Amino acid sequence: MRSSSGVALNRALLVTLSLLQYASGGLGVNSGVSNYSFPDDFIFGVASAAFQIEGAWNEGGKGESMWDTYIHKHPNYTVDRSNGDVAADSYHRFMDDIEMIKSIGVNYYRLSISWPRLLPNGMDNNISQEGMEYYRTLFEELLKANITPVVTLFHWDMPTPLMDLGGWANPKIVDYFEDYARVVFNLYGDIIKMWTTINEPHQQCYNGYGRNYFVPALMSGGVGDYLCTHYTLLSHARVYRMYEKEFKPYQKGQVAITLDAFWAEPKDPKRPEDVRAAEDYLQMHLAIYAHPIYSDVGDYPKFVRERVNNMSIQQGFSRSRLPYFSAEEIKALQGSSDFFALNHYTTFLMTPSLMEPDWEEPSWDQDTGVRMSQNLSWPRPGADWLTVNPPGFRKVINWISDNYRMLKKIPIIITENGMADWGQTDDYERVSYYNEYLNQVLLAMHEDGCNVKGYFSWTLMDDFEWIDGYSVKFGLFKVDFDDPEKKRTPKLSAHSFGNIARTHRIDFDYIKPPLNLNKLLLE
Ligand SMILES: *[C@@H]1O[C@H](CO)[C@@H](O)[C@H](O)[C@H]1NC(C)=O
Ligand SMILES: *[C@@H]1O[C@H](CO)[C@@H](O)[C@H](O)[C@H]1NC(C)=O
Ligand SMILES: *[C@@H]1O[C@H](CO)[C@@H](O)[C@H](O)[C@H]1NC(C)=O
Ligand SMILES: *[C@@H]1O[C@H](CO)[C@@H](O)[C@H](O)[C@H]1NC(C)=O
Ligand SMILES: *[C@@H]1O[C@H](CO)[C@@H](O)[C@H](O)[C@H]1NC(C)=O
């Protein structure tokens, strides 16, 4: 589509890198880290999401998503008063994106389809010809470049007409999501073999339906969030079973749901109440989604069911705020994923609490009964919520492996991991972050026996980060959003991450800060 000169590796930068490597002594014998490597078939990829990069919000017959509609109506919603109208303009510049992925040498790309770009009003009676062709071209160009696309069906951009009917809180969404997914499998299932259905339902339901930190900003705490949870899970199961019956026998792909988890650390590991609080938190955030799918008993976890029922009764409701599954639904959900897709970023410290000033009643927070805090001695490089604690990654991977046995030696694919910066291209903190976090993956695999099969960096390039607009930058590539060409420039981490992906090894000495200022390097 366009020249890709904007992303060619910059010669001066490469020279700088070699000098840095030289200055730090090249391959380090004293780095003190394990010498484990990733197996040959380990998947390395980068990730993105349609609404965060595509732009072209009203081009090519695209309908509106709830993010388009909501932000146009509430321009102050994002911290920088920005919106996703143009974003990184990947709708027009996807050949640049492909060039960037090629330049760092990873060969998987997790990206999402915009539901309203394909089905302008959300339903399958009207399929956009241009939308259809756009994704076909994109996937084919990726394959030509030897990059395997991994496709997310829903990464938060609910078509506005369906949001107007309640979005994930409407029981009929299960049918509409199935219809949409069938269109997608029919169109692209011949070339796409790895799918995730829904991205991070906890963030979507808790922040979007329970609070106003994400669109649709419904503020229906303790009610709307659980309806969202319930029908998201049922929608996922419906699509998994539909694929299994109608497509899997000949398309032979894999389908999973992408769940997110913070690691929950007891605030004081010596206090049993704090240890309990950390476990309660994981039950309410992660197990509420994972247990129905991956446990050998199925259904919501016992703790979650009892807890929400108890609170509902205390609050005078005549029924639980958390809906019940039928026996048939429990069965459809169990085993409805071919692998465990995990997004992980950070760790919080947990201590019990009955009520906090910023909690509503009822709310998921109050049901959970855990006050979260951060360890301020951990680095916080670029987003308030994201402290760097690499060992938490190993712990959450182990927690999943220990708790879920529906799949034998549960295969785990990290579908997102990364950190934010303030816009610099000399992003030493991110270089350290990737090396440290991937080192924890190696430890989980080699020392704990966890079956991790792949890892996707969030994210390929700086993008629209929801309520944070363009103020928070997660990219391996910097995007100049003021430039009409949206020039992309590799950060140091693009080279470092590419190096890990190509060599299948951690190399802490690959890039170090010129002065020993970096507090993120090994303790
Ligand atoms: C690390 O592993 C590589 C490849 O297996 C090997 O050549 C090298 O000697 C090892 N280094 C150390 C310090 O064990
Ligand atoms: C289909 O969607 C397009 C693009 O939004 C719109 O112009 C057209 O009117 C729709 N057709 C039907 C039958 O809904
Ligand atoms: C939006 O922000 C601007 C600038 O801070 C302010 O003047 C305006 O009143 C705000 N509008 C709304 C609807 O909050
Ligand atoms: C729910 O209430 C019952 C009866 O009071 C109590 O035994 C149980 O521990 C409570 N469960 C939770 C998770 O709060
Ligand atoms: C906070 O982190 C520091 C450094 O890793 C550690 O020594 C301390 O125990 C941590 N505190 C808590 C409450 O976890």
71-118 pLDDT per residue, tens: 999 999 999 999 999 999 999 999 999 999 999 999 999 999 999 999
Closest ligand to C-alpha of residue 270 is: 5
Task: Count CB neighbours of 164 within 10 A.
Answer: 14
For tokens 């269109």, the residue is: 183
pTM of the model: 0.92
Cite the beta strand spans of 95-227 per DSSP E: 108-112, 148-154, 194-199
Closest ligand to C-alpha of residue 506 is: 1
Catalytic residue among 54, 329, 416, 436: 416
For tokens 């129905």, the residue is: 292
Q: Is the pLDDT of residue 501 over 50?
A: yes
Q: Pick the residue whose CA is nearest to atom 7 on ligand 2.
A: 61
Cα–ligand 3 centroid distance for 70 (angstroms): 16
Work out the burial of residue 269: count CB atoms within 10 Å of its CB; fewer than 13 is exposed, 13-18 middle, 19 or more buried.
Answer: exposed
485 CB less than 6 Å from ligand 4?
Answer: no
pLDDT band at 10 (very low <50, low <70, confident <90, very high): very low
What confidence score (pLDDT) does residue 349 get?
98
Q: How far is CA 51 from the centre of its chain?
A: 13
Mean pLDDT of the chain: 92
Q: Pick the residue whose CA is nearest to atom 12 on ligand 4.
A: 307
CA distances (Å), origin 73, targets 68, 156, 242: 9, 18, 37
Radius of gyration of the chain from its Cα atoms, rounded to whole angstroms: 22
Task: Count CB neighbours of 405 within 10 A.
Answer: 12
Q: Pick the residue whose CA is nearest to atom 13 on ligand 5.
A: 267
Q: Is the pLDDT of residue 432 over 80?
A: yes
Longest dimension (CA), the chain: 70
306 CB less than 6 Å from ligand 4?
Answer: yes
Q: Pick the residue whose CA is nearest to atom 7 on ligand 5.
A: 377
Cα–ligand 5 centroid distance for 378 (angstroms): 8
What confidence score (pLDDT) does residue 509 get?
75
Structural tokens at position 327: 């026996």
SS3 annotation, 350-414: EEECCCCCCCCCCCHHHHHCEEEECCCCCCCCCCCCCCCCCHHHHHHHHHHHHHCCCCCCCCEEE
**Contact criterion met (CB below 8 Å) for 114 and 106:** no
> CA–CA separation, 507 vs 484, rounded Å?
37
377 CB less than 6 Å from ligand 5?
Answer: yes
- The arithmetic mean of pLDDT across residues 191-207, rounded, is 98
313 CB less than 6 Å from ligand 4?
Answer: no
Cα–ligand 2 centroid distance for 480 (angstroms): 34
| Top-confidence residue, 10 or 60 | 60
- The arithmetic mean of pLDDT across residues 191-215, rounded, is 98
What confidence score (pLDDT) does residue 512 get?
75
119-136 pLDDT per residue, tens: 999 999 999 999 999 999
> CA–CA separation, 266 vs 277, rounded Å?
7
> CA–CA separation, 440 vs 438, rounded Å?
5
Side chain identity at residue 97, one-letter code: D
317 CB less than 6 Å from ligand 4?
Answer: no
- Residue 244 annotated as catalytic: no
Give CA torsion, residues 340, 344, 347, 353, to 10 deg.
-60
**C-alpha closest to that of 94 among 26, 32, 4, 30:** 4
Structural tokens at position 158: 């609910």
Cα–ligand 2 centroid distance for 115 (angstroms): 14
302 CB less than 6 Å from ligand 4?
Answer: no
Q: Counting atoms of ligand 5 from 1, which one is nearest the CA of 523?
A: 5
Q: Counting atoms of ligand 4 from 1, which one is nearest the CA of 311?
A: 14
| Top-confidence residue, 484 or 521 | 484
Task: Count CB neighbours of 186 within 10 A.
Answer: 13
Lowest mean pLDDT among 5-9, 262-266, 468-472: 5-9
Q: Is the pLDDT of residue 290 over 80?
A: yes
Q: Is the dihedral of CA 45, 46, 49, 55 positive or negative?
A: negative
- Domains in the chain with CATH codes: 41-264+338-353+382-522 (3.20.20.80)
18-56 pLDDT per residue, tens: 333 333 333 333 344 568 999 999 999 999 999 999 999
Cα–ligand 5 centroid distance for 200 (angstroms): 28
267 CB less than 6 Å from ligand 5?
Answer: yes
Q: Pick the residue whose CA is nearest to atom 5 on ligand 4.
A: 310
Q: Would residue 386 be called left, alpha or beta, if left means φ above 0 and alpha means ψ between -120 and 50 degrees?
A: beta
Residue list, ligand 2 pocket, CB within 6 Å: 61, 63, 120, 126
372-404 pLDDT per residue, tens: 999 999 999 988 899 999 999 999 999 999 999
Closest ligand to C-alpha of residue 159 is: 2
What confidence score (pLDDT) does residue 12 get?
33
Q: Which of 377, 395, 519 to mutate to test the pocket of ligand 5 (most atoms within 8 A of CB)?
A: 377
Closest ligand to C-alpha of residue 121 is: 2
Structural tokens at position 25: 């002594």
Cα–ligand 2 centroid distance for 235 (angstroms): 25
- The arithmetic mean of pLDDT across residues 462-479, rounded, is 97
pLDDT band at 510 (very low <50, low <70, confident <90, very high): confident
Q: Which one-letter DSSP state was computed for residue 5?
A: G
Q: Pick the residue whose CA is nearest to atom 9 on ligand 2.
A: 126
What confidence score (pLDDT) does residue 77 get?
98
What confidence score (pLDDT) does residue 479 get?
98
For the chain, percent of residues with pLDDT exceeding 70:
92
139-196 pLDDT per residue, tens: 999 999 999 999 999 999 999 999 999 999 999 999 999 999 999 999 999 999 999 9
CA distances (Å), origin 404, targets 329, 340, 348: 19, 10, 22
**Contact criterion met (CB below 8 Å) for 55 and 86:** yes
Cα–ligand 4 centroid distance for 354 (angstroms): 14
**C-alpha closest to that of 236 among 174, 193, 287:** 174
What confidence score (pLDDT) does residue 21 get?
39
> CA–CA separation, 248 vs 61, rounded Å?
30
Structural tokens at position 110: 């997790």
SS3 annotation, 210-273: HCCCCCCCCCCCCCHHHHHHHHHHHHHHHHHHHHHHHCHHHHCCEEEEEEECCEEEECCCCCHH
Q: Counting atoms of ligand 5 from 1, which one is nearest the CA of 265?
A: 14
**Contact criterion met (CB below 8 Å) for 392 and 263:** yes
What confidence score (pLDDT) does residue 513 get?
73
C-alpha neighbours within 13 Å on the C-beta side of residue 459: 22
What confidence score (pLDDT) does residue 515 get?
54
303 CB less than 6 Å from ligand 4?
Answer: yes
For tokens 């109506």, the residue is: 73
Cα–ligand 5 centroid distance for 292 (angstroms): 34
Q: Return the H-helix or E-strand segment holding 507.
A: none
Q: What is the DSSP string of 446-467?
A: HTT---EEEEEEE-SB----GG
Q: Is the pLDDT of residue 361 over 90?
A: yes
Q: Counting atoms of ligand 4 from 1, which one is nearest the CA of 310?
A: 1
